[in-house]
Amino acid sequence: MTNILVDIGNSALKWSSLENMEKPRAYLHDSKTQLSSVLVSDLSRLPFEEAWACSVAQQPLAAQFEELVNCKGGKVHWLRAEEKFEGPLTMINEYDSPSRLGADRWFAALGAASQYFGNSIVLVQFGTATTVDEINFERDRYVFLGGRIAPGIDVMFKSLQERIPALNVSSGELVDFPKNTEDAVTTGIIECQIGLIKNAIEKLKKKSDHAPVIVVLTGGGIESYEALHQCAVDHMPRAHINTNLVLKGLALEAQNKR
C-alpha cells in the first residue's frame, strides 16, 4: 500500500506517490465536471490508503475524486493554504485572507522554497491562468508576499478568436519583428506573459535586501509552449524550469501531518 499526492487543476489532475514524486502522471479532464475516464480506471487498480490532495477545480471534480478514493476504502486529506507553514522551512502567508489563496499557489510556493532555499523567488505557474507570485527570503524564513493573476496563453488565444473572428487567429512564431498576423498574435501574447514576470522581478528586487532573486517557471503551459520556454530563458538568465512543485509542496505538508 502507498500514499499518493494529488493536484486537481482546472484542466488536468496530476498525481504521484509520496515515495516517488519524480515520476508524476497527468490526466486531462474529460470535461469541466468529469475526471478523465482513463484516470478513474488507473486509480481503481492502484492500491493506496491515503491521498493528500489540493484542488482549485470545480467542486464536482473534487467530489468525484473523493468518491473514487472512498470506494477503495481510502481517505482524502484535503490541504489548503494556511497562515503559516512550519517544518523543514518556515513560510508566512501575507495574503489578506490566507485561506482564500489558491492551494496550488501556496503549495507550489512551498515546493519552490524547498528546492531553492535561500533565494527570493518569483514563481510563475502557466496554466489556464498565469499566476506570478513573489516569495521573499528574510533571514531564515520565507514570506509569501502575494502575486498577480492573468489570463493564460490559451485563454488569450481563445479570447481573440471569439472577440475578433476576422483575425482568423492561429499559432505563429515568436519573432522580434512580426510581419504577419499569426506571428504578431503569438509574439504579443507571449511577450505579455514575459512583461508580467519582468515587472514582478523588479518589484521583488526592491523588497529583497539580501537574498538573490530567481525566477521559477512551472505549470503545464511551460511544457506545452516551447516558444514561451525559450523566451523566458532568453529574457531571464536566472530562470529555472521545475514542473513538479505543487506535489513537492503537498509532500512537505503531508509529511508534517502524518
Whether 195 has a binding-site annotation, put simply, is: no
Contacts of 156 (CB under 8 A, 6+ apart): 189, 192
Q: Which amino acid is at 65?
A: F
Own/partner long-range contacts of 195-203 (Cβ < 8 Å, ≥24 apart):
196/130, 196/132, 196/148, 196/150, 197/122, 197/124, 197/132, 197/232, 197/236, 198/235, 198/236, 200/122, 200/132, 200/134, 200/147, 200/148, 201/122, 201/236, 203/134
Whether 188 has a binding-site annotation, put simply, is: no
Whether 12 has a binding-site annotation, put simply, is: yes
Whether 103 has a binding-site annotation, put simply, is: yes
Whether 27 has a binding-site annotation, put simply, is: no
Whether 127 has a binding-site annotation, put simply, is: no
Whether 258 has a binding-site annotation, put simply, is: no
Whether 95 has a binding-site annotation, put simply, is: yes
Catalytic residue at 140?
Answer: no
Give the strand pairing for 120-126 and 90-93: unpaired
Whether 128 has a binding-site annotation, put simply, is: yes
Helix (H, G, I), strand (E, B) or coil at 242: coil
Whether 199 has a binding-site annotation, put simply, is: no
Whether 105 has a binding-site annotation, put simply, is: yes
**Read out DSSP for 137-190?**
EETTEEEEEEEEEEE-HHHHHHHHHHH-GGG--------SS--SHHHHHHHHHH
Q: Which entry of 30, 42, 96, 104 is annotated as an active-site residue?
A: 104
Whether 9 has a binding-site annotation, put simply, is: yes
Whether 257 has a binding-site annotation, put simply, is: no
Separation in Å, CA 39 to CA 16, 25, 52, 74, 161: 12, 9, 17, 16, 31
Binding residues for ATP: 7-14, 128
Query: Would you please indicate which residues are annotated as catalytic (active-site) residues?
Result: 104
Binding residues: 7-14, 95, 102-105, 128, 181
Binding residues for substrate: 95, 102-105, 181
